[in-house]
Amino acid sequence: MVLFATFALKLYEMLGLLKKLFGPKVDLKQKLQEGAIIVDVRSSGEFAGGHVKGSKNIPLGSISSKIKTIQKWNKPVITCCASGMRSGNAVRILKSNGIEAYNAGPWQKADRLKSSN
């Protein structure tokens, strides 16, 4: 029983970490309808290999230097990348600078959201 409780606690902690990494459940389709901008934080080479039509490419390493520009958009930002890890990091940077931001995860998911709008 103690082993199960320890496992359950570790699982709970992992889920909390995932929630922090990927954020709470938000209706991203609704955010897109409200004018959110999709920012793809992959490299320009990855972006050239396929991306969400109309998305902006700002590689994660450049996101901090583009904060003023992004703030001027005055719109929510939905980030994407290859897996969701870099876009999760981008969301943390954007939120710490007062920008409403959400992680869509892989760019293909963001593409499906946009094309079903």
Give residue-wise pLDDT tens across range 31-53: 999 999 999 999 999 999 999 99
* pLDDT recorded at residue 76: 98
Query: Residues 69-88: what's their mean pLDDT?
Result: 97
114 pLDDT band, cuts 50/70/90, is: confident
User: To the nearest whole number, what is the mean pLDDT of the chain?
Assistant: 87
Residues 6+ apart with CB under 8 A from 94: 63, 67, 70, 77, 79, 101
Reported confidence tier of residue 10, pLDDT bands at 50, 70, 90: low
The answer to whether residues 78 and 36 touch, using CB atoms and an 8 Å cutoff, is: yes
Model pTM score: 0.79
Q: Which has the higher per-residue pLDDT, 101 or 23?
A: 101
Mind listing the domains of the chain with CATH numbers?
A: 24-115 (3.40.250.10)
Token couple for 61: 């390493």
